[in-house]
Amino acid sequence: MNNLPASFFPRALLLLSIIFVYASCAAAKSAEATEYLMGTRVFIRVAPCGRDAQADIQEIIQEIRRFDAAASAHRENSFPARLARDGEANFTNEEEKSILLPMLREAFAFARASGGAFDPFIGKLSKLWGFSSLAMRAEPPRADEIAQALAASGHQKLLRLDEDGMAVARHTELDLGAIAKGEMLDRAAARLYAWGYRRALLNFGGDVYVIGDRIDAEGEPWRIAVQHPRKAQAYLGVARIQDGAMATSADDERFFIHEGKRWHHILNPFTGLPASEAVSASVIGPRAALADALATALFVLGADRGLALLAQYPGYHALFVFMSNDILQERMSPGFADAAGWKAAE
Ligand code: AMP
Ligand code: MG
């Protein structure tokens, strides 16, 4: 025994535990949970991986609650609520800062990169349109109301964003609705990876992150169907993804019909009206936060300008659906079909 190197046993044990964990991760069992959080349906499914999967899922759900409490504009005294009230808000503790600062930095960098199509300061407008509240409007706001809310939007209203917090122009309100689900998906996935999970599916209100292979089929990528924007229970096609995200922005998520016209929740920050260049935009890529923000920006920009923006982000690919002469048309970015292993529905 004394002749063995001191590190022999720990190393052998480590090897054994790796084999054990790998074997248990390959099992076709799964643990899952569904909750309504962040104003949306949150679904998590993992292949147990030598740990208490239910406890791990519950820990992620608790993290989503804290994330929502910090990031939601609708919660009393949240950072966005304080910012709307005072024009300035400082982070009150390390947790609030660690949740918000990276997301805010990414949101404003992307707002500039998108030429303002993605606007984290769309808050006043989206409140006016009412898509984020439970009581949906029956008709569009008046033009003067839109003009007033529009004057308070635009990423240029940012006066300060630093380690302490941020300051904005008067009346400007933050709305992180177009990036927060993606950001939270990335956080949840990072936890699962760190805990050693090798197969998982996270679906937060239609934005998805997958880890590894499907739980029920070794060697098979996850299949993610893209909802048909005009037919319930129908889909446009199926993407095959391993370790990556897909986010979709679509005009059928939250909308009302007034005098035969559809008014939906993705707003054009230049007009203050629902964006009309697309019907849906799906983006795949390695990070969900960027896929989420890109999907919203691409929806606003439409296929031509959207594809030009997308080309600046290697590894991200998109599928657009738009209306032309009353017919739904599709357009993919050059790498989409390959990267997504895309199979169109018959
Ligand atoms: P998504 O479903 O990711 O496209 O996000 C839509 C949500 O983001 C809306 O409900 C608004 O809260 C917000 N939003 C709407 N239009 C924009 C925009 N042009 N830029 C950034 N956020 C937006
Ligand atoms: Mg989005």
Q: What separation in angstroms does the CA of 14 have from each of 11, 19, 36, 199?
A: 5, 9, 39, 21
All domains of the chain in start order, with CATH:
1-346 (3.10.520.10)
Using pLDDT thresholds of 50, 70 and 90, give the confidence band for residue 330.
very high
Q: What is the pLDDT of residue 294?
A: 98
How many Cβ atoms are within 10 Å of 41's Cβ, its own excluded? 13
Beta strands 217-227; 213-214: pairing state: antiparallel
Q: How far apart are CA 125 and CA 142, in angstroms?
A: 12
Pick the atom of ligand 1 nearest to 131's CA.
10
Q: Which bound ligand lies closest to the C-alpha atom of 254?
A: 1
pLDDT of residue 188: 98
Q: Are 249 and 178 in contact (CB under 8 A)?
A: yes
Answer whether residue 310 shows pLDDT above 50: yes
**Ligand 1 atom showing the smallest separation from residue 253 Cα:** 2
CB atoms within 10 A of CB 330: 14
**pLDDT at 331 (0 to 100):** 97
Q: Measured between alpha carbons, how far is 263 from 244 in angstroms, rounded to an integer?
A: 31
Residue ID of nearest Cα to ligand 1 atom 11: 177
**What residue's CA is closest to ligand 1, atom 5?**
178
Q: Which of 85-99, 129-143, 281-295 has the least mean pLDDT?
A: 129-143
Of 273, 254, 240, residue with least CA distance to 205: 254
Contacts (Cβ under 8 Å, ≥6 apart) of 332 = 317, 318, 319, 320, 342
What is the share, in percent, of the chain residues with pLDDT greater than 70? 91
In whole angstroms, what separates CA 100 from the centre of its chain? 15
pLDDT at 336 over 90: yes
pTM of the model as a whole: 0.92
Q: How far apart are CA 299 and CA 269, in angstroms?
A: 12
